[in-house]
Structure 1
Amino acid sequence: MAMHAIIWLASAIALSLITFLTLSRSQKNVVLRRLGLTGRNASRPSTPSLEKQTPSKPLASSTSDLLATLPPTPRDQLRTVIHKLSATQQEAIGDLSFDADVFARSLLGLEEDYRTADDSKYSYMGFSVRELKALGDFPDYSTISEVPMPNPYPEFNIDRALPRPYRPFRWAYHQTMSLTKLETDWWIELESTYKERIAQRKELYRKYGESVLQWLPGSELVCKELMEMVLQFICARYPQYFSLSPDNSRFENRILGTVSVIKEKHPLLILLDNVPEDFGIVLRDPESGYYIFRAGIICSALGWNVRTKIGMKLHEIHQPIPDYKEKMQFSMDRYFSKMPANKPIQRGSWGFEVDQPLYMPPGDPHEAYRDVQDATLTRSRIHLRVDWQTLRRLPLSGGVVFNFKALFTPLEEFRDEPYIPSLVLKVLREGKKSIMKYKGTWHTEHIVFPALEEYEKEQVKNGIIEKDWEPKTLEESPWFPGWQEKWHRQQGF
């Protein structure tokens, strides 16, 4: 499913760009109004409305543009950050002068370790090795990236916490992929399966090794940066459970009762020990401009693994998508070449599964469920699986990070969720055949269809939905009307 998540997120970006750019100005305005960009939805008082993302003007479709194009540099933020640094650090950084010509000639190589590189080399975000070293450990990433730190979440109780009930269903299913601006409070979302998932993921790494967690040369900076950003985030969001020592050398996890000495392990192993999320990291190759998968933790892949994809370019990873090379490759490559650090995005990918398969490598016995409609299956074994996905560029290294969290919801939860049974039935029955075949829901549909039909009739009978309601994307998407009340009730607050 994680591979599906990357593919669907890639397709979303490409299709959004292609479709939007073919419209006239008046048609674009209509689309923007329908997407809600001219106003905010007031139906969710305690959760910000999700801001739809519109594409930037593209470059010409040629690979030479990729080599000539770099993302916007956030180095101006150094003038703010430098005042928070020690006198020694300020002296090491120097006067912040910047020569664009020198920068263009002095980019770090794809496999080059910044720690041993010459101080005059640069990351492709415009920071010199000298500056990167002077910033030290755990710099102020929120200021540099212009993505704010999260608000503390004092009501959060790890033993009762449920993920928000993501229902990213849309109709018409083939017309929009629904990219939205990242809600910064929810980048890393923890819930009551935390201990179980951490243990499960560590066991997967013990068993499968580099098939689930791997890093290649040149990823040293981006791995460190990602780990530090994630730890800063969870310490700010869940201060009752996580903290860094005053010198930032130790990370305390009060859920697990552990203390990690940060320098003793690779940054991805620190994340494996403490954060139940998947992270896939791509870096720009300065020789070609293409973005390449260089490091990651992927413990929730269905049908693939890190070992089979590491070192590939974006279009090589997405080769399974029909017509990707002909219709989407340039758009995707352009998007990655220009994506700024201050505009992270999010979306959801979904499917139905038997039980809760987290990791299913090729040949796994669980694959057999997808080949048949098992008459012995019961509703209680069918789960909606949502991979809630974010995509952001890290401000210092320039690495683009996908992260995913697999969330499982019993099918029976749909019974009291207004409009959801009707909407899902519409998508499963009438969605574009090639998309639905790729999504792979067939093996559950003999159970899902009658259950949803029953729930739909109940909702009409009980006045929860209108009898003649025509399925469409809900205004509350990716949730449903009354989701907050249900979510809070289930958690006891």
Structure 2
Amino acid sequence: MTPYPAQPIKGRERYRVMMDVRRLDVQNWLTIDKNYMDEHVIRSQLLAEEKSKVLQCLPESYSACLEALEEVVEFLCQRFPNMFERKKNGDEWTVYNKMTGETFVFGGQSGSHIDPLEVAVRLTMEDLSILMKNADDEYYLSVCASACPWAETKEKRRLTNSRAASASLFPVGWTVQERIGWTISQLHNPVPLWHQQVANSVSKFLARLTPSSPMERSNYFVEVKRPDEDLFEVLYRPTTLSEDNPDPSPEDIVIRRERQTFRRLPRTGTIVFGVKTILTTLDELPMKELENLAKEIRSWPKYVGEYKGREVWGPKALEFCEKKRQQLQETQEKMEV
């Protein structure tokens, strides 16, 4: 199956932080494509070797995580019946992944000891997080490891009461473990102009989201990889967007796109936030998107370019775009002759 089409780079001539949300394509809330097995191997490896960094769930978030899993299983079994199968025995459910041969039991009293959110991300290609409100009416990506020694302060207690969870296996420059108790605003502190231009809109958007009005949006980052990096190292990028590669080729410059989905769960009223990561190297971009990327690169103010790592990959990207444009122009001129 070909990957779900990523939103193209639009080529905005002025940098502005935008929510740019649209109605969710509900038939494709979760996606399965030809990269499923390769990414599944990486997901399994991360959950085996780096679980505390990629998965955190407070005990209080169990009901929301279980509802999220139920929604995931129902969707996958209906949308991809040749790949997933579920059966019910009393109050227990069994889901069978025909591609991997894995079976998970959930619900009831003797279900799987695996966290429901972990089961969900072992089935999907999307990272999933649960967003809940805290006592201050703010949405938190508030997560906690059992080994995390919470300080007994009013502020810390308020954070633990946010009751949320996250399974983010393919993060960019951060880990779940590092961002325990962070609000949506705190998560976006490093983003230039985020607070000035969209913070209030994001709060209103999340508050107004209903089970019947799921939404989605897209964004992208540019990262640099080393020539010898494998898929695991490119997808799991918890520290930085740019590896030690001062002279990257077009094949080493990666456009990392995220399709982000937002669904309000009907029973618990929480929000399940999904992120599907799509990787495209610079040399794989069509000419129109290359031109749009170059336009956006040039439009960024200096501080935005520094945040995005433009000094590392920007000159090479602009050089490649101009070279490809000239080659295309020469080819067209020859055809006209």
Checking the alignment, whether the CA contact within 8 Å between 1:198 and 1:272 is kept in structure 2 is: no
Contact 2:15 2:299 in 1 (8 A): no
2:259 is paired with a residue whose SS is strand
- The amino acid of 2:53's aligned partner reads S
Q: Output aligned runs, 1:80-229, within 5 Å.
A: 157=1, 161-175=2-16, 177-229=19-71
Q: Paired residue for 1:292?
A: 140
CA spacing shift, 1:348–1:435, aligned 2, 3 Å: farther
- Please give the secondary structure, in 2, of the residue aligned with 1:218: helix
| Selected match of 2:246 from 365, 369, 374 | 374
**Which residue of structure 1 lines up, in the alignment, with residue 186 of structure 2?**
316
SS at match of 1:191: coil
- TM-score, normalised with respect to structure 2: 0.78
Q: Match of 1:351? A: 221
In the other structure, the counterpart of 2:206 is 336
- Structure 1 residues 349 and 397, CA gap change in structure 2 (3 angstroms): same
Contact 1:389 1:402 in 2 (8 A): yes
Q: Does 1:444 align with 2:313?
A: yes
1:181, 1:344 within 8 Å by CA — same for their partners in 2?
yes
TM-score (norm 1): 0.55
- The answer as to 2:264 corresponding to 1:423 is no
Q: What displacement does 1:318 show?
A: 2.6
Question: Which letter maps to 2:64?
Answer: V
Matches of 2:128 and 2:197, distance apart in 1: 27
1:191 positional shift: 1.9
- Residues 199/348 of structure 1: CA separation in 2 closer, same or farther (3 Å cut): same
1:230 equivalent among 67, 72, 78: 72
| Structure-2 change in CA distance of 1:326 and 1:407 (3 Å) | closer
What amino acid maps onto 2:78 in structure 1? A
Please tell me the residue identity of whatever aligns with 1:241. Answer: M
Q: CA deviation at 1:462?
A: 4.9
User: Cα 1:190–1:436, aligned 2, differ >3 Å: closer, same or farther?
Assistant: farther
Q: Classify the secondary structure of the residue corresponding to 1:303.
A: coil
Show the counterpart of 1:45: none
1:344–1:442 CA distance, 2 compared to 1 (3 A): farther
Q: Which amino acid aligns with 1:359?
A: Y
Structure in which a larger fraction of residues adopt strand = 2
SS in 2 for 1:249: strand
Task: Show CA shifts across 1:448-479 (max 9, x none).
Answer: 22221122234444559xxxxxxxxxxxxxxx
Kept in 1, the 8 Å contact 2:224–2:242? The answer is no
Measured after TM superposition, the shift of residue 402 of structure 1 is 1.8
Helix, strand or coil at the partner of 1:279: strand
RMSD: 2.6
Asked if the contact 1:295–1:310 (Cα under 8 Å) also holds between the matched residues in 2, the reply is no
Amino acid at match of 2:300: G
For residues 283 and 242 of structure 2, the distance between their equivalents in structure 1, rounded to whole angstroms, comes to 23
Deviation digits for residues 431-454 of structure 1 (CA, Å, limit 9, x no counterpart): 344333323343222332222112
- Secondary structure of residue in 1 paired with 2:223: strand
Q: State the distance in 2 between where 1:351 and 1:318 align.
A: 14
Verify: 1:306 aligned to 2:197, yes or no: no
Partner of 1:491: none
C-alpha contact 2:4 2:31 (8 A) present in aligned 1: yes
Retained in 1: the 8 A contact 2:128–2:275? yes
CA distance in 1, matches of 2:4, 2:74: 21
Contact 1:383 1:408 in 2 (8 A): yes
Identity between Structure 1 and Structure 2 (%): 23
Matched, 1:409 2:251: no
Partner residue in 2 for 1:479: none
Aligned to 1:273: 122
Deviation at 1:329, TM superposition (A): 4.2
Structure 1 residues 305, 245: closer, same or farther in 2, change over 3 A?
same
- Using the TM superposition, give the Cα deviation of residue 219 of structure 1 relative to its aligned residue in structure 2, in angstroms: 0.9
Extract unaligned runs of 5+ from structure 1: 1-156, 465-493
In structure 2, C-alpha distance between the alignment counterparts of 1:315 and 1:343, rounded to whole Å: 23
Distance 1:170 1:402, change over 3 A: farther
Aligned equivalent of 1:253, options 97, 121, 128? 97
